[in-house]
Amino acid sequence: MQRRSFIATLGAGAIASLAGCQTAVGSVALPSVPDDALDSGGWEQLEQTKDETVIEETYGPVTVEAVASSVTYTDAALREQVRADTLSTVETDLALFSATRIDMAPSVDELGPVRSEVKTQIRTAAIEELRAQMDAAGITNVEETGTGTIEVAGGTTAEMTELTGSYPVEDMKFPVSEDTAITIEGGDLAVDAVLAVWSANGNYLVAGGAYPAENFTRETDSALTDAISVSIDIDLGLTPDAYREELLDLIAGVS
């Protein structure tokens, strides 16, 4: 539905009721994240953004403004493990976590008839940002796969979107002599992602991230000479269920 048509269906009285609620958004604090869990899990901060305007839309006499501050982390311990195990063939951020606080003017509780549309815009913008983070890590073909809910801090139920993509693992070469190497075929490694959006204290919180959705294993036997053969087994030891549980716990700890 186009915004003009959407506004028309609300009626003049509904839009006018917002007019007395409008204020300006000031500087937005970063969301609170579970620091102890991040530290013990080997996560490191990648980036931080402050006071980014994500929505500035006019509905009749009222301008709805949404301003965000965000922090993003990578599982540096996992990145280093995979880098070492693949002889630097895979050197990227396969596990990500981000949290965003979005302050609203008017507040969420005062948005009334446009609340649903505003939340949809926030969700859409957040998914695009998560896609961009995954793309920066080389994770491509990201698609939405479903929706659900998750209980977050304070017992609030947040709406959750599920996504999946893939990281193209290049062929790996293992030198066995000065002029001979064994090549292990690469392939696509599935990477899943989740994103949760919920309201808190009149504003919105967004949290989500990505994680490896499967293990990566390969094995090969190569004859170097008539008398010598070499077997190479690769098992990165990736544990998707544990990564997902960790990410959901981090999301639930955002406030």
Q: What is the Rg, in whole angstroms, of the alpha carbon atoms belonging to the chain?
A: 23
Q: How far, in Å, CA of 232 to CA of 221, rounded?
A: 7
Asked if residue 180 has pLDDT above 70, the reply is yes
Task: Compute the average pLDDT of residues 171-192.
Answer: 86
Write the pLDDT tens digit of every residue in 230-239: 777 889 999 9
What is the arithmetic mean of pLDDT over 187-213?
97
Q: Average pLDDT in the 145-171 region?
A: 96
Give 57 or 152, the one with higher predicted confidence.
152
Residue 61 has pLDDT above 80, yes or no: no
Of 52-66, 104-118, 151-165, which one has max mean pLDDT? 151-165
| Per-residue model confidence (pLDDT) at position 2 | 40
Please return the burial class of 4, using the count of CB atoms within 10 Å of its CB with bins 0-12, 13-18 and 19+: exposed
Contact 147, 158 (CB under 8 A): no
Contact 193, 213 (CB under 8 A): no
